[in-house]
Chain A
């Protein structure tokens, strides 16, 4: 009788140790997964922040080998590309999102949603090639517009799906209240449903912008890049990610320094957008 007990105790103790070991393993692996983030951020802050000064933000890059210079063309370029991409993708994306929320279960709705979800998963370099074929080849020239178009195609599914998701969460009673007042369908959508979902839709747009701003691959053979300041979207245009790519892989330490600074700026922009969306979602969310 008594012999049974100690064995049981030992077995239980072993299992509890195993439990603790498992927990430790899970925690340890999780830290391995997340500590590098800290590392990346620290690395970039240290190497990059020191490059940031007024000259950096406002000057053009100097010819190879010279120190100093800046990335103003890349900053402006990214801004212009994002503006072009937003103009193309937001109206279409929001409308497509409304369509999916309203008619998602119809045949066209199902096809459209599958298309959008597929679009979402297309590698961005493939999108870049498509933009090359559609714009660069006919115009026989790299251009900011083709880059903006590529980014628009990347942003579109994000905006569409988040708009749909937002609108589906709006309670039916709001539609009914509007319809019962004799409001027409278009007005009901535009003046009641859309405003109620505004914060979610804006969040989706901001997230799409964050994604677009960080994309390099689609710009490699569309906007292509230039060491000069260029505001003309029909000509090649620089951008932050593409500049980072070129300078980071170049053999010149001066350019690499610029790349660290550019990476810092890009990171700040992208992470700021992500954080802003979180705040927007929590503060402005309309309570139903």
Chain B
């Protein structure tokens, strides 16, 4: 009798421990980042967020060029990905819900999601960059091939499956009687999609966009390989740049000096905070949409 109580308690404690460990892990990650970036936090101060110079030689480290680079690549990627994934969501949520073609499309999108970032980067280097180089030549920009635009296009395809599946889910949550009401009034299927389905799923799709944004911000390898590794603040998408993630990937292993390293860790901390915030907001919006239906 005693032994069953003991093993019962031990087991339940073990389970609780599992829950505690994962919670503590998150806190530990945050604290580690915070503590390890202390030398930089102290040295860089608030200028970290507003300044535009990144110079290991003078120990001057500002994050703005990379925050801008991250936001720029992510937004351009988001525009491209949203258009494409909306099309996919509508296709799979409205026109081809079942059948061979639907299965092929769905499998194709899922496989896209499984391709490692570094492989995307590889393809980007050897296939996309030459195309962008042509574009750059046509426009008169330096024909590096690598650029913010190259990175954005790659990013778009990488976040595509994620935002497409969220979009499909949000569209499937639209009550069918609303759609039927529209159809019974004589609307064509596409008018129904455009005027009833999409507006209804609007907030959910917005949440999905935010979640994809969170994903895009964290993508490292593909971006690192095709963004050109330049540390200036620039809006020129046909020129090279750097995101927070690609900066770390490019410079961390060779960083010497405590402040340099700590500044890179500070960038990681910033990236952690921003992407977590965006993910949280996105999730709240998506959950609200799911609950409303």
In the complex, what's the smallest C-beta–C-beta distance from B262 to chain A, in angstroms?
A: 11
- Contact in complex: A26, B95 (CB < 8 Å): yes
What 4 additional pairs, Cβ within 8 angstroms, besides A95-B15, A96-B19, A126-B272?
Answer: A37-B111, A116-B22, A123-B218, A186-B11
A-B contact count (CB 8 A): 246
Interface-facing stretch out of B46-54, B55-63, B132-140, B185-193? B185-193
- Contact in complex: B220, A271 (CB < 8 Å): no
Select the residue from B19, B87, B193 with max chain A CB neighbours within 10 A.
B19
Closest to A96 in B: B18
Q: Which residues of A contact B234 (CB under 8 A)?
A: none
- Contact in complex: B225, A249 (CB < 8 Å): yes
Alpha-carbon gap, A184 to B9, bound state (A): 11
Q: Which residues of A contact B83 (CB under 8 A)?
A: 29
Interface check A252, CB cutoff 8 A? no
Alpha-carbon gap, A116 to B24, bound state (A): 10
Partner of B19 from A38, A43, A112, A270 at Cβ < 8 Å: A112
Partner of A92 from B21, B110, B123, B252 at Cβ < 8 Å: B21
- Give the total of B residues in contact with A, Cβ under 8 Å: 82
Q: Is the interface of A mostly helix, strand, loop or mixed?
A: helix
Q: Which residues of B contact A34 (CB under 8 A)?
A: 88, 105, 108-109, 112
Q: Which residues of B contact A44 (CB under 8 A)?
A: 119, 123
Interface check B14, CB cutoff 8 A? yes
Q: Which residues of B contact A242 (CB under 8 A)?
A: 118
Residues 117 to 161 of chain A near chain B (Cβ within 8 Å): 117-119, 121-127, 129-130, 132-134, 153, 156-157, 160
In the complex, what's the smallest C-beta–C-beta distance from B150 to chain A, in angstroms?
A: 14
Q: What is A's interface to B at a CB cutoff of 8 Å?
A: 15-16, 18-19, 22-23, 25-30, 32-34, 36-40, 43-44, 92, 95-96, 98-100, 102-103, 108-109, 111-112, 115-119, 121-127, 129-130, 132-134, 153, 156-157, 160, 184-186, 189, 210, 213-217, 220-221, 224, 241-242, 244-245, 248-249, 259-260, 263, 266-267, 270-271, 274
- Contact in complex: B249, A220 (CB < 8 Å): yes
Partner of B127 from A43, A186, A215, A244 at Cβ < 8 Å: A43
Alpha-carbon gap, A239 to B110, bound state (A): 24
- Contact in complex: B91, A108 (CB < 8 Å): no
Alpha-carbon gap, A176 to B228, bound state (A): 61
A121 and B279 contact, Cβ closer than 8 Å, known pairs A23-B95, A270-B115: yes
Partner of B190 from A19, A37, A249 at Cβ < 8 Å: A19
Partner of A245 from B87, B225, B265 at Cβ < 8 Å: B225
Q: What is B's interface to A at a CB cutoff of 8 Å?
A: 4, 7-8, 10-12, 14-23, 25-26, 29, 32-33, 36, 83-88, 90-91, 95, 105, 108-112, 114-123, 125-127, 157, 160, 164, 188-191, 193-194, 214-215, 217-221, 225, 245, 248-249, 252-253, 264-265, 268, 271-272, 275-276, 279-280, 283
> Could you list some 5 contacts between A and B, CB below 8 A?
A22-B190, A34-B109, A40-B123, A125-B220, A216-B116
- Contact in complex: A123, B217 (CB < 8 Å): yes
Alpha-carbon gap, A275 to B248, bound state (A): 33
Q: Which residues of B contact A130 (CB under 8 A)?
A: 29, 32-33
- Contact in complex: A117, B283 (CB < 8 Å): yes
Q: Which residues of B contact A156 (CB under 8 A)?
A: 22, 25
Q: Which residues of B contact A133 (CB under 8 A)?
A: 32-33, 36, 265
In the complex, what's the smallest C-beta–C-beta distance from B80 to chain A, in angstroms?
A: 10
- Contact in complex: A214, B117 (CB < 8 Å): yes
Alpha-carbon gap, A189 to B245, bound state (A): 42
- Contact in complex: A245, B118 (CB < 8 Å): yes
- Contact in complex: A108, B84 (CB < 8 Å): no
In the complex, what's the smallest C-beta–C-beta distance from B219 to chain A, in angstroms?
A: 8
- Contact in complex: B125, A99 (CB < 8 Å): no
A96 and B21 contact, Cβ closer than 8 Å, known pairs A43-B127, A214-B116, A224-B253: yes
Select the residue from A43, A116, A216 with max chain B CB neighbours within 10 A.
A216
Closest to B276 in A: A118
Select the residue from A125, A134, A189 with max chain B CB neighbours within 10 A.
A125
Closest to A211 in B: B114
- Contact in complex: A259, B116 (CB < 8 Å): no
